[in-house]
Structures are given as structure tokens and as C-alpha cells.
Amino acid sequence: MAKLHRAAEPDVLKPLIERARLTPESRGQVMGHALGLLADLRAAQNRGWVNQFLQEYRLNSSEGVALLSLAEAFLRVPDPETADLLIADKLGDANWKAHSGKSSSVLVNSATWGLMLGRALVGDEQTGTLRRLISRAGEPFVRQAVGAAMKRMGEVFVMGRTIDEAMKRMKKPENQGFTASFDMLGEAARTKADAERYFQAYFEAIRAVGRDPKAGHSISVKLSALHPRYEVGQYDKCVPELTDMLAQLASEACSQRIPLTVDAEESERLDMSLDIIGAVARRPELRGWDGFGMAVQAYSKRARAVIAWADQLGRPMHVRLVKGAYWDSEIKRTQVEGLSDYPLFTRKAATDVSYLACARDMLDARNIVPAFASHNALTVATILEWAGDSRDFEFQRLHGMGEGLYERLVREQGYHCRIYAPVGGHRDLLAYLVRRLLENGANSSFVHQLANEQLSEAELLADPVEKIIAVGGARHPSIPMPVDLFGEWKNSGGIDLQERTILAETAAAVAAFPFDPAPRGTDSGAAAETRAAGDVRQAIDRAAGAFPAWSSRSREERAVILDRLADLLEENRVPLMALAVKEAFKTLPDAIGEVREAADFCRYYAARARADLAPVVLPGPTGERNELRMEGRGVWATIAPWNFPLAIFLGQTAAALVAGNTVIAKPAPQTPEIARAAVRLAHQAGVPEDALILIPGGPEIGAAITANARIAGVAFTGSTPTAKKIARSLLEGDDRPIVPLIAETGGVNAMIVDSTALPEQVVADVLTSSFRSAGQRCSALRLLLLQEEIADGVIEMLRGAMEQLVIGDPGDPATDVGPVIDQAAYDHLMAYRESAKGRWLKTLPVPAKGLFVPPTLVRLDSVDDLAREWFGPILHVATWKAGELEQTIARVNAKGFGLTMGLHSRIARSAELTEARARVGNLYINRSMIGAVVGSQPFGGEGLSGTGPKAGGPHYLQRFCAERSVSVDTTSAGGNATLLSLDEGGI
């Protein structure tokens, strides 16, 4: 099964095509049945609310996008001021009036009326009877109208706010003949309390459904809702706990004699899911119960293999086949992590082919009770054809969607259809609703196409097998392979640490790598300074002597060497990761990220050198040639930090080298071994030994390097005070040339969160931004600024999520937070932490042995209380008032730092305001604040946070160059010969 995970799409599709193909005879039967189903669907278009919505508000229209965006956030906003901003942001530019009264749905029209009222107040119109009328009621009236529209949407899409309400609703006439699978809303737990709450909700729902067993309803369970750390790295903890929790729910369902289905998760959790489901399926106390089941996503390349696995469990298994729910996020993850291939199909037609092949397998299986979840008339007709006279299966559809497709099949022909029915409060529901609409309303989906009256029946019922055959099973051309993501340069290859066997093998290889660290720290005194100065002078002599030959090499030669170095980094990935773990105390994910970023820097700067450093011919008068050249300046010093001892060390160095300079490279004294390994690989790649010289050491070495007048430039990453010392040293001496300094320093990095933000997403991004790498990143979050109205709730969730962090050996796959870099850092952070003890909101226990600084959350009275950077796992939190976003940004700017800032908000105008006002090098909106990608997110700050230009950006290399302009008068040597060829009509 594992081999299928990253197999080439055409290879995976080949057997699926044969399995899904219809014979010419059956194709005719299927088309006839599908046309009848299509007619039923179209006749019912005015009944299904989602169908009506899609008819009225296309998802590619401004009104459709605005409505979904408003629905996702509005009901969770507690304060009127932010609610008004959200309404103005989402409704102000949309033309709701054009939709008024057009729909045959009372619901859609009533929702539109509420939205139109909102638009009348927040839009651009300054006159009009309607505006004058409702302006007397003021903004509360608008909020009430919009709120009513949002709640109306929620009431239709959710089956009930409680399980009892949902069961009562299933008795209404429109649901006659259908059963339900109730899903207690909770996409993912962030805290232990969340998981316990969801578990109790599932347990109570099972008992409630069991009180009416004749109704035939069932329960659907999400494993991710039952554990806050449902991750491969936490396998040893989460899998046994989840197995026990699922077994308890299954035992209760067994005693109540009702079915229970485990929902599908992302592909990275598939193996864990199967381990949990398999363990529960084999429990002796569940023998004789035939109600246990699982969902399978047809967009997965492993879908057929999972179905075969379920059939071999030796007991009846209900299998719900779905198209898939996480397509976009799985595509992105594969690209970001540089994996070899996608775990899913990249074409909608390929997913449809996989679905049909899986359906056929399920119908033929001995131990599977099939359930086919689909709103596609052709898919349903094909399954009916293959099933023949059998009724030993069921169809499923989402509540609120697919009305008309199954009514005649259920009520007249004896087929069974189950409605997948969300249960929960409207505030929690609407983010889920938006997700379902986007999944099932995408331009390529059947539901969306059905709402498009311009599409013919033939287009709606086109055979997906023929579509895939026509393209040879090829991957979608708009979705490049991860390695080709950036086009001009190759994306670095990653390691799939979400594959448990790969994670274990990687951890073992890293642990086995021999490492004998030198004592940390350096000697000092006059003798050390004299020795350092002598070593530096000798090294600079060598580098200066190598400069003419190296700079005379072509840009292409130097670029090829950098590409070769990137390849060598990837070939030596595990030893380099081991050094990062053992010398720099990086966790395994951070270690692979370190190697990948170093390779990305090499390939990106090679590509940029080819594109940007070529001579440029400039315009001028005839008889003159003007050219601008970018050439090396001489000997550069690159001084790297310990927190990115490979990536930044090589990034600075590679840029200087490819621009034609020779380099004196000084690593941080804490991490010399990984620098030595990097330099060895650079020499192996073709960089002459005298063109790149490593000089390890402490501050005395750095001072001796920057004091030497032959240094043509310095690239430094580290603290702001050290950067200032370097700047001053470069100005000493009247006869010293003025040379460039590229400095990237730290920052008091803030994340601003308003009340429209999704708290679960905020907490996840805060944990990543604050505590990954033990908070030892320049970009790490230091100051969390929460809008007052949501502060208590977000802090409580954050405290619970912090409790789940694992602190320990960075080489352990389960570790989230390792030790800080050295004793000096530890003492510095612990002294500050102790001084703030009265303001702790949360801190964690740490191992007794080692330099572990406890992750700590510190409450501040004001944004202004934090004036400096604390480089470790200490997060400060303060609040701000609604309506004061601009003032809050100004207060952060006033600190003088300008590296990173984050914003979590669903208000586009707030994002625009932050973009305009924030004085930072890197602004991150609705995501974490770390992990800048070379070439995509150039990194670097301003003010106290650095000089620029940005590392990994298109303007970086030029700073390492001398710009030289050459102007040649060609008239003195015969003039412009091209003029003689001009035809002037008789000359």
C-alpha cells in the first residue's frame, strides 16, 4: 500500500480504468438511467436549499464568495464594532439587490433580503428611500438582519443543534424513508478538554440514537476530534488512547445495536487510522456486531488497497465511499514538503474513475457492506447497473444537498439512502458549511455543474473513463510535481515524516550518526586575539589571491557549482540532519527543513545569477555602446548564527560566491561542525579551497575579520547589538573603503488577532510560531495581541494546547521543544522568566537534565510593556480594543523592530490596512509566522531588524556585486556600421 502513496498517477490509474470501464451495452443502460435521475434532480432544484443557493449565488461570483466568507465568521464575532466591519467588508461591494426575489426559495430570498439591507447601509450609495428608511434603525438593525440571514443558512444546513433535535427533524415528511448518520460537529480537538467534550457528545449521541433503534440511524466519528495530538510523531501516545476511546464508543454502539462509522482523515493519518480501526474491529467483545464501519476517500491513490484491507479483516465492515474532503490542503502539503509525488489524483475525472473502480470492488467484496456517498447522477446510475437486483448496499448524501436524486429510488424502488447529517451549534457549524459548499460546489463538481443551465445533458453525464483515457491518465498540467513547483529552479526534496516507517528509519539513522562535539566556548585574552588576527590575515591573503581567478569564471560555471552543491546537500541529507540535531539541538522536522533550505538557497541563487547578473546593454545615441556589468567586489565575510547553522551559513556564502566574490565564512562558535561539513561539500562541488575559507571561533575572530580593510563586504545574521558593532568597525580607519553590510537581526515580532479569526487556527499557528525550534528563530512570535472580546477564550484554548507539547530529546520523533543552545542562553532566559513569575499564565514542566527552558505564557498589561527580544520559548500576550487596529499596529511599529508580523482576521480591509501600516519585512496573514520559503517569501527586516536586501529574494545578489558601467564611443573606430545598411530610398 505504501508504494501506491507516491506512485505516478498514470500507473495508478491504469488498472482503475479497466475496473471502471463500462461495456457498450451497459453504457447505454447507465445513460438511460442517468438521464432519468438527472430529470429528477432538475425537477427538485427548487427544493434543495444548497441547490437553490448555487443557482442564485455562483461560487465564482463576488456575491457567492462574500456570502460564504461572511457565513464562515459572522456568528462567532462577539462585539458589534467588529461585526459591523465584517459586514461592511463582505457586503459593501456586492450587488445583493440583483438577487432580491429572483429565487423560488423563500429561504434564499429571505437571506438575500437581510443581506440587501446590510448592503444598503454599508455600501457606497448615499441616497435612496431604502437607505433613509433603515438608517433610522441604525447599525444594530443591520447586524440583526445579517445575523438572521446567517442563522437561517445554519438552520437549513445543520440537521439540529442537539442530537434530539436532529432525530426529531428526521421524522419530518421530507425525510420519509431516509435514515441518518449523525456527525457531532468537531473537526479537530486542540486541547484535552476539547477531546473529552467531543467524546462525551459522541457517547451521548449513540445512546440517544439507541433509544429509537427502529429508525435505523447511525453515528459518524472523527478520530481527529478525539485527540489533540493525532499525529504520526505522537503515534505511541495517541494511537493506544484513540483505540481505547473508539473501542468504548463502538462497544456502546454495539450494546445499542446501532451502526458507527469512522470518518476519513487526511492521507498522512491513513496508516494510523487503519491501525486504530483494525485494532477495534478485532476486539472480541464486538464479535457478532455488524455495525462497525469506516469511510474511504476515492481521491486517494490507496483507496482500492484500503477497501481490500477492510475486506480482509474477517468481519463485516460498513464502508462509506466518498470522493474526498481535503484535496487542496493535501496538494499544498505535498508541495511545501517537497515530497516525491501526490498521494491523491490531480484530476476530478481521475477521482471519479477511482470511485467507480472502488465501488465495483465493494460490490464484489465478501465482508463489506457498501455505502456510496454521491450526488452525481452518472455515478449512481453506474452503481445501480453493476448492483443489478441487489439491495445489499446503501447510498448516502449530505443533508441539504442532492434532493431529488434518491427520493424515487428510496420510496418507489426499495433502495436505502442515508443522510449525512451535521449536528451542533450554528456558531461552530458555519465554518464546516463553507468547507462542504466549497468541496461540493467547485467548478468541476457535479452539484455546481447541475446549477449551470447552460451545460447540456451530455456534458453533465460525460464518461470520466473516456476523459482520463483522452489525456493518457496524465497529471493535471496546472498542478506541477513538487520538484517543479518553482519552475526556474528545482524545489528541494523532503522526507515524508508522516510515514511512520520513514520517520522511524530517519530517527534511527540520525541517532546512529557519530558525533563528538568540541567543548563549547572559546579562549580569550591577548594571546587569543593575537592568534585570531594572525589566522584571519593569513586566510584573507589566500582569499584575496584566489579572487581574480574565481571572479573571472563565467556566471554559468559558478551557478553550475551551486547546483552541484545543492545536489550534494541532498545526497548527504541524513548526516547533515544528524549534525543539526546533535550540535544545534534541532528537532527532526527542523533538521530536514534546515537541509532543504540550504539546498533551496543554492539553487535559487544559481538561477538568479543566470537571470540577473548578465551584462545589460543600455540605450544611447548611435555610435556609442553602453553596458552595465555586475561583478564581484573582492573578499566577503559571512558571519552566520547558530539557530540556522547550515541554511543561513550556506545561503549567505552561496550568494557571495555566485556573484564572483571569494568568502571568509565564520560560523557561530556553538555550531562549527555543521559548517565544516558544509564547506567540505562546497569544495567537493567545485568551489576552490582558497575561494571559500572557514574560520571558526568566537567574537575575537569576528572582530578580526571585520576589522581587516581588505574585506569588501559583510553579510551577518545575529543580534542587533552585534550588527551595530560590525557597522561601526567597518567605518574605522580613514583609508578604509566604504563597504556594504547586509544584516539580518531579530525582532519583537507581534501577531494581531481580531474577533473574526477562527480560534482553533489561531492557537495552532501560535504554537508553531512561538515554540517550534524552542522559540529560537529570528521570525518567532514574541508578542500575541488579542482583541479584548476574545482574549479569555483564546488564552484558555492556548493554555490547553500548550499542555500537549512534548519537551525533550530533539532526536526523538515525538519531541516538539528541545533545549536552548547553550548555558548562557539558558541562564539569560531563565533569569528573565523568573522575573516575570507573577505574570505567568501558563508554564510547563521540563526534564530535569538539560538546557530546557519551560515554554511560558506571560501576561502583559500593555503592548508597550515588551521593548526587547527574548530569544526562546517565552510568549507574551496583551490585548487591544475593537476599532483600534491602526493604533495597535502603530504601537508595534514604535518599538523600532521590523522583522515579522502576523494578522489573523477575516476582514479583507483589516488585512489591507495592516499591509499599508506595518513596518515589517515579512507580514503573515492567517497563517503561522515562521518557515519563510526561499524564492516565495524573501526574508529580512528593517529598522532594528536589519538592513536588507532580503535573503532568498530577487534583489539579494546585486548587493554582493560591484556595478560597473562601460561606455564606448564607436564613431572613433569607424562609426555605426548598421547605419550603412539602412535604405533611404536612393542614397
Look at the alpha carbons of 360, 361, 364, 368 in this order and tell me if their dihedral is positive or negative. Answer: negative
Around Cβ 670, how many Cβ atoms within 10 Å? 20
CA–chain centroid gap for 958, Å, is 31
Q: Report the C-alpha dihedral over residues 788, 790, 795, 801, rounded to 10 degrees.
A: -160
Helices (H) and strands (E) in the chain, counts: 36, 25
Contact criterion met (CB below 8 Å) for 221 and 189: no
Q: Is 177 helix (H, G, I), strand (E, B) or coil?
A: coil
Q: What's the chain's length in residues?
A: 987
Distance CA 224, CA 273 (A): 10
Distance CA 81, CA 143 (A): 10
Contact criterion met (CB below 8 Å) for 359 and 16: no
Amino acid sitting at position 172: K
Residue 353's closest CA among 386, 379, 372, 320? 379
Distance CA 147, CA 814 (A): 44
Sheet holding 874-880, edge to edge: 840-843, 856-859, 874-880, 783-787, 750-753, 900-904, 922-925
Cell numbers standing for residue 939: 526574508
* HSE value, Cβ hemisphere, 13 Å, CA-based, for 981: 3
Distance CA 928, CA 763 (A): 10
Catalytic residues: 744, 778
Cell numbers standing for residue 867: 521593548
Distance CA 344, CA 329 (A): 11
Non-local CB neighbours of 613 within 8 Å, separated by 6+ positions: 555, 630, 658, 659, 957, 958, 961
Task: For residue 292, count CB atoms less than 10 angstroms from its CB and return exposed for 0-12, middle for 13-18, buried for 19 or more.
Answer: buried
Cell numbers standing for residue 876: 507574551
Beta strands in 788-933 (DSSP E): 840-843, 856-859, 874-880, 897-898, 900-904, 922-925
What are the helix (H) ranges across 407-515?
407-411, 426-440, 446-451, 457-460, 464-470, 500-512
Task: For residue 837, count CB atoms less than 10 angstroms from its CB and return exposed for 0-12, middle for 13-18, buried for 19 or more.
Answer: exposed
Distance CA 624, CA 976 (A): 8
Contact criterion met (CB below 8 Å) for 653 and 676: no
Cα-flanking dihedrals φ and ψ of residue 821, to 5°? -70, -40
CA–chain centroid gap for 686, Å, is 36
117-138: b (≥16 Cβ within 10 Å) or e? bbbbbbbeeeeeeeeeebeeee
Non-local CB neighbours of 721 within 8 Å, separated by 6+ positions: none
Contact criterion met (CB below 8 Å) for 422 and 158: yes
Amino acid sitting at position 697: G
Contact criterion met (CB below 8 Å) for 351 and 298: yes
* HSE value, Cβ hemisphere, 13 Å, CA-based, for 951: 31
